[in-house]
Structure 1
Amino acid sequence: MIRWYLLVCCGLLTGCMASPAPQVSTVRLHNEASLPLVAQSIDEEAGCVVLPPEELVRVGDETTADEALLNADLTPPQDVGTVVEPEPLFDFPVVENDKVRYLVDYYTGPGRRTFTRWLQRSSRYLPMMREVFKREGLPQDLATLAMVESGFNSNAHSWANAVGHWQFIESTGRMYGLENTWWRDERRDMEKATLAAARYLKDLYQRFDGNWYLAVASYNAGPGKMSRAIKKYHSTDFWELCKGSYLRAETKNYVPKLLAALLISKQPVKYGFCELDYQAPLAFDTVILSEATDLELITELTGASYDELKRLNPELKRWCTPPGETNYRLRVPTGCAGGFDEKYAQVPSSERARYKRHQITSGDTLLKLAHTYHIRVDDIISLNKISNPRALRIGQNLILPLHRDYTSRPLAELQDDYLRSKRRNYTVRSGDSLWSIARKCDVTEKQLRVWNRLGWSNVIQPGQRLVVSAPSSRVASRSKALKKVVYQVRSGDTLWGIGRQFSVQTRDIRQWNDLTEDHILQPGDELTLLVHGDRRS
């Protein structure tokens, strides 16, 4: 028996020695690489299995083709019903370390519900964003940064007054061609803002000598802050910079958030995100408006709903296209543009804008406005819900109905409809002080004292939660004399109709119930409303 075993072993050894040795290559991807390398195949004639081209080596790993083969699972699948996802391909440098794994654990654990919504929205916007990044010569995977920034919500408004999918503050947005006026905010437009973000990231990439991690981190912290961190710690390694205390925790987690989002979104089933209800990719037709036009008129000419037009054109803050702008390109749902030009041409110019915004100046009266615009005083009072016609305030905005068939929708859109992010909180740890927390959160000690009503006391306890961001003045001003009402949705209900019934605004209903702009109400749904105490349901 032993003799037979030795003969078999010798035969196998002789066969292996007779075959040419496979060529082994070491593959290492560095942070500055923009495309991953493919592990070299092993000679099929040597009796080994050739690795498919999808087998990639992650950035930062060092492995040989032999090791990759030894680690490969060559067992044929037994369960044909199991969903097998291909190994992900990245065109952005991806590493897995403790910081990234921590964020992966968070998104698949406590943050699962939020990340599920992000994934389901991603299919609506990512194809367009990736295409823009491709045209600008950037890694397409970098478009996933919008998921980290806003969760693909064009109405997102941070505590730092950053707006839209790409969370531009006004000054940076203006540098990259994004206009913000009373009528529109181009930071909320998915195409314009994505192009601006791509160009901004390209500039940051060049500024930091082709280091994508520093470019991405500076998108959050600002290029000046990142440059000072590099000078302070004498390093251009993002992970080394994170070991110091100069960068905020938000910036230190920013790159790991992107990497975690990439890993999960490329293989959602692997990370337990099954049966996702992905939204349909963004699709629309475009019509050209020669002058300022009310969206209500567009709904009549195209058959599209008002809410659909607002969802497709999130840069519009009001009820019409910007006054004074000619040849405005308005998105309409696919199939709604047919015959529009002919119908639009038949509408007299005087009837295309049915409302006018008028800001009260010294000497204005309702009678004077009525004579100037050939409208009735009663209509001005009714539309603007004026209780005392003699108590007009200088600077007050009035909506003047220029058409008999007016609605209260323009009045509801006098205020910006941003969804403001919640105030940030910080849990005090052992060894923390107000000075160290203020430095971490990029605020002042005085602000911490005011927001948390600490007075001059320096006493804080581990486990204590401190508010570390400014409040939203709009939300705070409406918090008085309100009561909570739970409304059950009925067949035929719309957010606009519910808001009109309870004298609240649609954007507030969305914010109170964490609803996206494209959320569809279902009979039986329960909505939480905050209504004035004297309001009867």
Structure 2
Amino acid sequence: MSVRVPLLRSLSFAVAVSLAGCASAPDKAPASPSLNALYSQLDTASQGYENALRQARAGDEAGSEKTLAAALDQLKQAAAGCDVASGCDPQRFYAVYDRLLRLKDGSDIGVDGLDTAGESGGPDGLATGAASLPQARRSVTLLHGQKLSELIAMNGPVKAALEMWLTQWRPNLMDAWVNYQYMRFEMWPQYQKADLPEALLFGIMAKESGGKVHAVSRSGAAGPLQFMYSTGLRFGLGTDNGFDTRFDPKQAARANAEYLNEQLGAFNNNLELTLAAYNAGEGRMRRIAGDRPGVSFYDPSVYDELSQETRDYVPAVLAAAWLFLHPDSYNLHFPKVDGRPGQVVLKRPASLSELTVCLGNTANLPGGWFRTLRNLNPRMDPEAEQPAGTALALPKALERAYAARCVDGPWPILASDLHDAVVPKPAVDPSPAKQQRHGPTRHYRVRSGDTLIGIVHRMRCSSVRDVVEANELHGHRIKPGQVLQIPDCRRR
């Protein structure tokens, strides 16, 4: 018999509460018991937790719960003692907490037969959201034979990144979670096939784009996993009928998994160096690491040679992956999302923008459905009206809402009226002002098969954003024969 989920979750709450006191300043008046007794009590509590796991594994659930309760009581008492004991080291308590979290990941337990009550099934048995999976099952996914949690060192940079995700970056993390849940049915199977852990996929996506399929950086990296043009081509991301497949979440996840497995092979399964290569370029990382595939990312001979961006990037990805595995343990609660895929066939012409208006806040999504509709239909210009009969991907939960709100009645009429609004243009040709704002320009005539990213890559120096602004492009759409102004920074 395997450990049931309630037992595993007990650690998240009880130990977190215990450690709250440990952060206090250690200069309070000494208290009994002595420090050695406190540390001994801490060790005993840790051993008790391990014993509780073993009892649960052996089928003694009642005995396991009793042992666990005693262990957590000891841990709380020791933490309270540390709060008032002069010289008590709170880091020792945090180290135990970290170790018990890793035990919770399955280092000492089996995962078959875990309690899965309350899960909702998706297509082909795929759960509809990672939050619905028992934490132990998610945590023990292996990365080339090693548990992912064992590869994440809880050091200073990772702890600092955890704090950022839980504070300043928290809105981004929550948005990334929701965006990912609606694309999970496309992205996660690509990682499964490559035998890579889902937490890693989420960590990279959260840091790279926040789950915005059409994200483009000033350097030209594009898509939910931010591939550079040349790297994308190497892993099969190119142009398909004028569409840049880096924006396709399924194809991007496949290419990302292939890239990671390639680099894990090159860096002796060193996850930190592999992530650094994804951010800084594999050529640069191989030059820095040299013939030392086992060297630590934090070794000064490596760390000091990297840009600040890469130094921040690696722990940020690992921290997001860690929170994916242990949200409750950090007072983080991801919302439940019904990510089952659905489809409607348009009964009347509509753009993604119009559909967003008529769907409103259906299913209580505060930010509306624009981002989700774009992510699930990456080939569509969100402003272009799609003809009746067009098949449109959307969450399963919206199928009825579309029929009720977006076919007949006032909402599609209102949405169409807003969408067709005419914005007056200046009587004077604004091109001189553009020329002044963007500086000297070159011209490029679009050819069949061209993409905006590809053009910027070939013409060099300009960014996608500059070209979009200079030509007032909507949705990054271009067509053969169109003449583009390309800001020319070489002549500035």
Using structure 2 for the length normalisation, give the TM-score: 0.47
Structure whose alpha-carbon radius of gyration is higher? 1
Which of the pair is proportionally richer in helix? 2
